[in-house]
Amino acid sequence: MTEANDKTPVGGGSVAAPDERVKPEAIKAIPVRHYGRWVSSVVVLFLLAAIVLAFSRGQIEWSVVGEYINDGTVIRGAWATLQLTLYAMLIGVVLGMVLAVMRLSQNPVLRNVAWGYIWFFRGTPVLVQLFLWFNLSLVFTYVDLGPIYKNEMTDVMTPFMAALLGLGLNEAAYMAEIGRAGIQSVDRGQTEAAHALGMSPAKTTRRIVLPQAMRVIIPPTGNEFINMLKTSSLAYVIGFSELFLVSREVGSVNLAVMELLIVVTIWYLILTTIFSIGQYYLERHFARGSDRALPPTPLQKIRANVLSFRRQAGPGGVGA
Amino acid sequence: MTSLSKQPMVKAEAVHKSFGLIEVLKGIDLEVQQGEVFCLVGPSGSGKSTFLRCINHLEKINAGRLYVDGQLVGYRQKGDKLYELKEREVADQRKDIGMVFQRFNLFPHMTALQNVMEAPMQVKGESKANARERAAKLLERVGLGDRKGNYPAQLSGGQQQRVAIARALAMDPKLMLFDEPTSALDPELVGEVLDVMRDLAESGMTMVVVTHEMGFAREVGDSLVFMDGGVVVESGHPRDVLSNPQHDRTKAFLANVL
Ligand SMILES: Nc1ncnc2c1ncn2[C@@H]1O[C@H](COP(=O)(O)OP(=O)(O)O)[C@@H](O)[C@H]1O
Ligand SMILES: [Mg+2]
């Protein structure tokens, strides 16, 4: 240190040319020890170990869990859950965006109809809505669309249809609000610039406003997707054979209630994890242009985390 | 650039504009000749931006008449009745009028090249290859040939504004409107944008420029109008108005900006 200092000109004398200047010695300080971090880690790990131990000793036949995790009936239930979720979200997203545009429209009729829709569907429990759809045959015996289509309501309103409509229409109300927030987040200047170039209002919405709104819309939509995966289990009350219902049935028939509940839990986690990963890449795609650099992918993040952990743990830490 | 047969590019007759109860333009009369650089100066809030936005019908005027290249802006006159134009017809009028904004308003989700290609493809139905080639040329012209793939967030303010000028030029406009194009820029970036505008003026483009850059107005401008409180206070050749203002309000304003 002193040696380096001696060679660095200090005030008074002439300023040394850059190449003559000696780079000061790199700092080698003893890092702050985070004792709290270590203590809290130990406590949390201990609690986790206790939980794992408890479950391994509980009266759970883990082999049964393993047996039913890829049971045909269970997988068909998972598939039904996935389909119901995708279709309900499709209805929710498309109808939601239409409602969002309606709510921001200049036309007072469209605006108020959209408002009323959102008011109704957000204001009632989705469980009640499911029963309402399922029991529609109590008040309408036929679905009669004149010469195009006519059928008995009980034939049309299968458990799947009722679940799809109940979940999808309810979701549209939430997606409408998400869409509205997204559209309103886009700067007015963008619309003006597009109009000034001669773009029609419809093109402006489609090419300029919606792609930018997406950046705001996608993250909460991902959450809605994951919520829908879980909420779709409510469809069991109207007898739709999704993941939860089939697992209840398989579990009670085989006297393995807890085992099947664990199977269900694992399946929901698998599905939600897949969706989370998809959401991440979608967000990355729509973030283009918003930052100077794109956010790292999970792999890049893991690598960076490992590196920074090594660095933190470096001197005096656990062997890396 | 002067020819007796040519009608003015912009003609305003007693243009009035109110926002609610506040009258912002109180009867503007002026003419912008073809090929001329027409500078609009005046204190903040005097209605310069509003007037500019009336020219491409981003704002609707409440009274008076506004013509671009002999066509009534935003309306059709039949007998003594005015009919509002349909959205598509308004869009049609706008595609011949380029506009450059104070805050650039580039499309942030598109690269510089895509920003310039967008309107020719979407509005004129140009092919992608064609649009790309012309956009590349325009970016070269504004000195950004090496920035085609950059998103706006990756460009400096001066570069963004030059892309915005290229974007407007891509529609082959007959008239360019500039609303304080250098006001949001760091001082050292103002020059590069003014250079592009000077080039454009030399190529014979008709330009209406709202600006506080009196040097530019004096050097490049062919006419200058001083506005205050929603009226034209004084107009003439930039050198005359700037060196020898007649009106007290003009003198006070110029004393502040020069
Ligand atoms: N959309 C609007 N609604 C209400 N008032 C407005 C609107 N746009 C502009 N104004 C008002 O009109 C006046 C003139 O504004 P502007 O044309 O932007 O002035 P300048 O560009 O000369 O600074 C200002 O007082 C401003 O507040
Ligand atoms: Mg202004």
- Give the residue whose CA is nearest to atom 16 of ligand 1: B47
- What is the rounded average pLDDT for all residues in chain B? 95
Whether residue A163 contacts residue A84, with contact meaning beta carbons closer than 8 Å, is answered with yes
Span B25-32, average pLDDT: 97
Q: Which two tokens stand for residue A248?
A: 């209840």
pTM of the model: 0.77
Give the neighbor-by-neighbor strand order of the sheet with B175-179. B97-100, B175-179, B206-210, B37-41, B223-228, B231-236
Q: How far apart are CA A110 and CA A92, in angstroms?
A: 18
Which atom of ligand 1 approaches the CA of B210 most closely? 21
B54 - beta bridge partners?
A: none
Span B186-190, average pLDDT: 94
| Structure confidence by residue, pLDDT tens digits, A158-178 | 899 999 999 999 999 999 999
Phi, psi of A245 (to 5 degrees): -65, -45
Strand, helix or coil for residue B65: strand
- Give the residue whose CA is nearest to atom 1 of ligand 1: B19
- Quick one: pLDDT band at residue A137, thresholds 50, 70, 90? confident
Q: Which two tokens stand for residue B92?
A: 């049609």
Give the strand pairing for B175-179 and A150-152: unpaired
Closest ligand to residue B53's CA: 1
- Write down the pLDDT at residue A142: 81
CA geometry: angle A212, A215, A216, nearest 5 deg:
105
The Cα-based distances of A217 to A48, A172, A179 in angstroms read: 36, 13, 6
Distance between B249 CA and the closest CA of chain A, angstroms: 32
Q: How far apart are CA B132 and CA A279, in angstroms?
A: 32
| Structure confidence by residue, pLDDT tens digits, B54-71 | 999 999 999 999 999 999
Alpha helices in chain A (DSSP H): 2-7, 35-57, 62-69, 72-103, 108-123, 126-134, 153-156, 159-184, 188-196, 201-203, 210-231, 243-253, 257-286, 298-313
Q: How far apart are CA B186 and CA A38, in angstroms?
A: 50
Spatial neighbors of A224 by CB under 8 A, at least 6 apart, are: A89, A92, A171, A174, A175, A178
CA A45 to chain centre: 28
Q: Between chains, do A199 and B119 touch, taking CB under 8 Å as contact?
A: yes
Distance between B65 CA and the closest CA of chain A, angstroms: 20
Residue among B110, B152, B171 whose CB faces A197 most closely: B171
Span A222-246, average pLDDT: 92
Q: How far apart are CA B117 and CA B134, in angstroms?
A: 8
Chain B residues with CB inside 8 Å of A291's CB?
Answer: 153
Q: How far apart are CA B203 and CA A245, in angstroms?
A: 75
The Cα-based distances of B56 to A81, A192, B162, B183, B200 in angstroms read: 53, 11, 21, 21, 20
Give yes or no for residue A10 having a pLDDT over 70: no
Give yes or no for residue A210 having a pLDDT over 60: yes
Q: Comparing C-alpha atoms, which of B93, B44, B55, B75 is closest to residue B230? A: B44
Q: Which two tokens stand for residue B258?
A: 């020069």
Q: How far apart are CA B249 and CA B37, in angstroms?
A: 23
Residue among A189, A195, A291 whose CB faces B94 most closely: A195
Give yes or no for residue A314 having a pLDDT over 80: no
Quote the ligand 1 centre to B46 CA distance (angstroms).
8
Q: Between chains, do A292 and B58 touch, taking CB under 8 Å as contact?
A: no
Chain A residues with CB inside 8 Å of B184's CB?
Answer: none
Region for residue B99 given its phi and psi (left: phi exceeds 0; alpha: psi -120 to 50; beta: otherwise): beta
Q: How far apart are CA A189 and CA B105, in angstroms?
A: 6
Which atom of ligand 1 approaches the CA of B59 most closely? 1
Which residue of A186, A197, A218, A283 is the best one to mutate when testing the B interface, meaning the one whose CB has the most B CBs within 10 A? Answer: A197
| Structure confidence by residue, pLDDT tens digits, A253-279 | 888 888 899 999 999 999 999 999 988
* List of domains in chain A: 71-291 (1.10.3720.10)
Chain B residues with CB inside 8 Å of A203's CB?
Answer: 122-123
Please list, residue by residue across B2-33, b when 16 or more beta carbons sit within 10 angstroms of its beta carbon and e when fewer do: eeeeeebbbbbeebbbeeeeebbbebbebbbb
B209 - beta bridge partners?
A: B39, B178
- Write down the pLDDT at residue A144: 79
Give the strand pairing for B63-68 and B10-19: antiparallel
Would you tell me how many other CB atoms lie within 10 Å of the CB of residue B168?
Answer: 25
Give yes or no for residue B39 having a pLDDT over 90: yes
Give the strand pairing for B175-179 and B206-210: parallel
Q: How far apart are CA B236 and CA B239, in angstroms?
A: 8
Q: Between chains, do A189 and B123 touch, taking CB under 8 Å as contact?
A: no
- Quick one: pLDDT band at residue A310, thresholds 50, 70, 90? low
Closest ligand to residue B41's CA: 1
Closest ligand to residue B45's CA: 1
Whether residue B67 contacts residue B73, with contact meaning beta carbons closer than 8 Å, is answered with yes
| Structure confidence by residue, pLDDT tens digits, A80-123 | 999 999 999 999 999 999 999 899 988 999 999 999 999 999 99
- In chain A, residues 281-300 whose CB comes closer than 8 Å to chain B: 286, 288-292
Tell me the CB-side half-sphere exposure of residue A93, using CA atoms within 13 A: 16
Q: Which residues line ligand 1 (CB under 6 A)?
A: B 19, 24, 42, 44-50
Q: Between chains, do A196 and B109 touch, taking CB under 8 Å as contact?
A: no
Which residue of B54, B109, B165 is the best one to mutate when testing the A interface, meaning the one whose CB has the most A CBs within 10 A? Answer: B109
Q: How far apart are CA A72 and CA A78, in angstroms?
A: 10
CA A234 to chain centre: 19
- Quick one: pLDDT band at residue A318, thresholds 50, 70, 90? very low
Q: Residue A208: closest CA among chain B residues belongs to which residue? A: B107
Q: How far apart are CA A239 and CA A233, in angstroms?
A: 10
Distance between B240 CA and the closest CA of chain A, angstroms: 33
- Write down the pLDDT at residue A294: 60
Chain A residues with CB inside 8 Å of B103's CB?
Answer: 189
Residue among B94, B106, B153 whose CB faces A291 most closely: B153
Amino acid at site B61: I
- What is the rounded average pLDDT for all residues in chain A? 84
Quote the ligand 1 centre to A111 CA distance (angstroms).
28
> What DSSP element (H or E) covers B124?
helix B112-124
Total beta-carbon pairs less than 8 A apart between chain A and chain B: 75
Q: Which two tokens stand for residue B59?
A: 């704002």
Q: Residue B93: closest CA among chain A residues belongs to which residue? A: A198
Spatial neighbors of B94 by CB under 8 A, at least 6 apart, are: A195, A196, A197, A198, B56, B57
